[in-house]
A and B are shown apart, each in its own frame.
Chain A
Amino acid sequence: MYDHIFKRAQSLHGDKITCEKKHPQQLEIKTDRHYVMNLLSWLKTESYVHLAFISCIDWIEENQFELVYHVYSYEEKNHILVKTRLDRDRPWMHSIIDVWGHAQPYEQEIHEMFGVYFPGNPDLSGLFLHNWKDLPPMRKDFNPKDYSLALYSLKGMGHEALDMDFIQEITELEVE
């Protein structure tokens, strides 16, 4: 099913690329980040017209981020995952919004959650987080529990317990 993709991809990028069949309907292509754009635009002409999503994985022990582009073909009815690794200290990746316009918010979200920078994407402002000043929260070295306890717990907010005086007051204050 994937044979022609295999062959063609090898001939295009030679040893820069590794293909592996993960599942009868899932092909994994690993490549260098500079070839991804090329590869994706070629796949788009090969009936893989649907970019389902982009995900990012934090391989903290290898000090790398991995980006996975999921593309789907309605004709072949199968997936291709295009994977690439980025340096975790300076993570950036070419934006693919010229190939798929709707990749813009995907990249915006990855930028917000992992700190991966996408030059070429016109809007990388915050999407979900409010007033965020810490490490991007989906990174493995960010500790959500410590964050939550430091900010949202009563102790973090500087109260020993929810003031008992307050609860007392409910009963006293009712009528002016």
Chain B
Amino acid sequence: MEHDNIYLTNLRDEKQNMWTGLANYFRKRSMWMLYYCTGCGAIELPPTMTSRYDMERLGMGPMATPRQADLLLITGYLSVKTLKRVIWSYEQMQEPKYVVGFGSCPINGGIYWDAYPVINHLEAFMPVDMSIAGCMPRPQAIIDAFEKLMDEIQQGKAVGYKRYRKHYDWYKRNQDLVLNRQSAVLTPYVDPFASMPTAAELMAQESEDSHV
């Protein structure tokens, strides 16, 4: 049978059966995104979303809650504190779900590679389906990445969520390493004021010290 239209062509992909191919076709055409604007990348989204570049022509739109979203945008650097919230949001999302990392920061830390609160490789904590290099990528690059992601969804390659499910222990181990660390990384800090003395006590102690 000859099919010249793209969706039927894709159905011929050996890796997918007819139903997943069909489902993927519709999935890629209606993506609701949750943008987790942690970094500089947030500023590139308004032009991408509004009339200048208009991502709605790709069938994408903003969504208010993680439970209703398909696409999680990590727009820039992630501090440890936000990483925890991002993981919560990601785990709340319904499958199938996709993650796009914006800029170099989620790839390898970017200019924050040596900063103490910012993680370096997002890929180690959650599956990333698409990364956009650049600091910060322009809206054209973002649209381009979305189109690529749609292709990958159609071909059944954007399966980060399955990877997350299958290798949950690997991701969990990395998450725990950073989020639930039990000991100091370099030098443990002993707070000399852990007992919370009052000012009067401190002054009395100091005048004692100076008399000795």
Measuring CB to CB, which residues of chain A are less than 8 angstroms from any residue of chain B? 89-90, 92, 94, 115, 117, 119-120, 128-131, 133-137, 142-154, 157-159, 162, 166, 169-171, 173-175
Contact = CB atoms under 8 A, between A and B. Distances in A.
Interface string B177-195: 1111101111111011100
- Per DSSP, chain B at the interface is loop
B188 A175 contact: no
Contact of B116 (A137, A166, A175): A137
Interface size on B, as a range, is 35 or more
A87 B188 CA distance: 20
Contact of B16 (A94, A145, A146, A175): A175
Contact of B120 (A90, A153, A171): A153
Contacts of B189: 115, 133-136
Given A142-B186, A149-B114, 17 more contacts: A92-B193, A94-B199, A115-B191, A120-B198, A120-B199, A129-B117, A130-B79, A130-B84, A144-B116, A152-B121, A152-B178, A157-B124, A170-B157, A170-B159, A171-B157, A174-B159, A174-B162
A176 B163 CA distance: 12
A134 B185 contact: yes
Contacts of B116: 137, 142, 144, 147-148
A166 B167 contact: yes
Counting from the closest, the 4 A-B pairs by CB-CB distance are: A117-B193, A145-B114, A152-B120, A133-B184
B184 A130 contact: no
Contacts of B148: none
- Per DSSP, chain A at the interface is loop
B140 interface: no
Contacts of A162: 121, 123-124
B137 interface: no
Contacts of B109: 148, 152
Contact of B157 (A90, A143, A174): A174
Interface in B97-135: 109, 113-121, 123-124
B67 interface: no
A151 B157 contact: no
